[in-house]
Amino acid sequence: MKFLLRSGKISEPSAACIDAALGWASADRGPGAHQAIAFTLPMSHHILYQSQAKPPCPPAAKVLPMARRYIRQLLDGDSLDDVFLVGDKQLRTNRQGNPYLQIELRDRSGQITGRLWNATEHLSRQFDSGDFIQARGKVQSFQGALQVILSSVTVVPSEKMDVADFLPHTEQDLSKLQEKLKQALNKVQQPNLKALVQVFLMDERFMASLAKVPAGVRNHHAYVGGLLEHIVKLLEIADRVLPLYPGLDKDLVLVGLFLHDLGKVRELTFDRSFSYTDEGQLIGHMVIGVEMLNEKMREVEQLVGEKFPDELAWRLKHVILAHHGSHEYGSPKLPMTPEAMAVHCLDNLDAKLHSLLRDIREDRGSTSAWTPYNQALQRKLYKGGVSTNAEDAPLED
């Protein structure tokens, strides 16, 4: 007897049980005759086997479940049938006016876009961002990037799922990142700024949120622990760069790097998916950050028994409000102090390089020397090697 097991495992005698259950009479086949049959077992275990004789039927063997394939492991042409977290969902129409669902599927290894053609509004209302769905379909390459053409989606009760298995996480140890943060901030000498740092570090709720919140929803450091990783990297860069610029107020830059994105702990929600809170949508993390800074400065005043210096407060608030660098990117003020410019430049350096290196590292298109077009960066990225397809290269302006 010969048989091929596509998924799961089954013993040779169990295949004989299947043979008998199908009611094949040995008289119908004759000596040496063989036939082939394909059928479906529960849990989608597909078996193709060839049977020559009908041996006795022993107890059935245990069928093993399929191992999960993470998004980062998917390849062009793969079939997909697994549970994913919905990161985003949009009901759209194609050029012919037919509706389709575009769904951002997430697991802890990354995300991939799924498209379900001829979707209905009724189906779209069955689930939302932060819900879990069983997605079935086929992976295909489209314009240099992988996507999933879905054949069906089914809502899965969230009570059965562990959200931690579906959200991307920093690859670094969070406890070590927190220790590096404290060591870097211990170098702050200015008394008021040193007291301010300690007030933040002693706030257990704030520090717990800081260890979890992503730095963004989808651009740089968009994973659990991303903001803490980003801040520690900035402090490490500053430790190397600041000695080259003795005219800068080193303490103000260090505290500015620590606090420039502090408002994101209230701007973003990260329990089930990465998205914006109502407060975050209406106000934004820079204004929220200034509000949080005002609260902590009042705590410092109570702690030390004197007023926080006005000019120092203005300079620190200016760093927060100007760290995006331009009105075009959301800063209400342009950097107008050397320290604000330093924070903006270092922040931009780490954010941009993180995005570029991530896109090149995670791009699975092996046929092109270029990554797919990055909308946030407004360009493709060159991965190296030789591209034989002139259409892959970015167009000249």
Which residues make up the CATH 2.40.50.140 domain(s) of the chain?
Answer: 71-165
Q: How confident is the model at residue 159 (pLDDT cuts 50, 70, 90)?
A: confident
Q: Domain spanning 71-165 has what CATH number?
A: 2.40.50.140
**CA–CA distance, 272 with 391 (Å, rounded to integer):** 39
Residues in CB range of 382: below 8 A, 6 or more apart: 369, 370
Residues in CB range of 63: below 8 A, 6 or more apart: 8, 9, 10, 41, 42, 43, 45
Q: Encoding tokens for residue 392?
A: 């892959």
Asked whether the beta carbons of 262 and 295 are under 8 A apart, the reply is no
**CA–CA distance, 362 with 371 (Å, rounded to integer):** 9
Q: Encoding tokens for residue 82?
A: 């697994």
Note the pTM of the prediction, 2 decimals. 0.70
Residues in CB range of 175: below 8 A, 6 or more apart: none
Q: How far is CA 258 from CA 295, 330, 389, in A?
A: 16, 19, 45
Chain segment 75-96, per-residue pLDDT in tens: 889 999 999 999 888 999 988 8
Higher-confidence residue of 161 and 201: namely 201
Predicted local distance difference test score (pLDDT) of residue 167? 82
Predicted local distance difference test score (pLDDT) of residue 97? 87
Q: Please say if the pLDDT value at position 21 is more than 60.
A: no
Percentage of the chain modeled with pLDDT above 70:
79
Phi/psi at 37 (5° precision): -145, 140
**CA–CA distance, 79 with 138 (Å, rounded to integer):** 5
Q: How confident is the model at residue 182 (pLDDT cuts 50, 70, 90)?
A: very high
Pairing of strands 145-156, 110-117: parallel
Higher-confidence residue of 324 and 64: namely 324
Q: Please say if the pLDDT value at position 279 is more than 80.
A: yes
Read off the amino acid at residue 245.
Answer: Y
Among the residue ranges 131-145, 171-185, 282-296, 302-316, the one predicted with the least confidence is 131-145
**CA–CA distance, 153 with 84 (Å, rounded to integer):** 10
Chain segment 208-224, per-residue pLDDT in tens: 999 999 988 777 888 88
Q: How confident is the model at residue 183 (pLDDT cuts 50, 70, 90)?
A: very high
Predicted local distance difference test score (pLDDT) of residue 262? 95
Phi/psi at 146 (5° precision): -85, 140
Predicted local distance difference test score (pLDDT) of residue 162? 80
Among the residue ranges 40-44, 103-107, 282-286, the one predicted with the least confidence is 40-44
Q: How confident is the model at residue 234 (pLDDT cuts 50, 70, 90)?
A: very high
The 10 Å Cβ neighbour count of residue 191 is 13
Mean pLDDT of 320-343: 95
Q: How confident is the model at residue 366 (pLDDT cuts 50, 70, 90)?
A: low
| Nearest in space to 368 (alpha carbons), one of 350, 389, 342, 352 | 389
Q: Please say if the pLDDT value at position 285 is more than 50.
A: yes
Chain segment 26-80, per-residue pLDDT in tens: 344 444 443 333 333 343 333 333 334 444 444 444 433 456 788 888 888 999 9
Mean pLDDT of 341-363: 91
Percentage of the chain modeled with pLDDT above 90:
51
Compute the Cα dihedral for 16, 20, 23, 26 and give only its sign.
positive
The residue behind tokens 């800081």 is: 210
Predicted local distance difference test score (pLDDT) of residue 138? 95
Residues in CB range of 268: below 8 A, 6 or more apart: 213, 214, 217, 274, 275, 276, 277, 280, 285
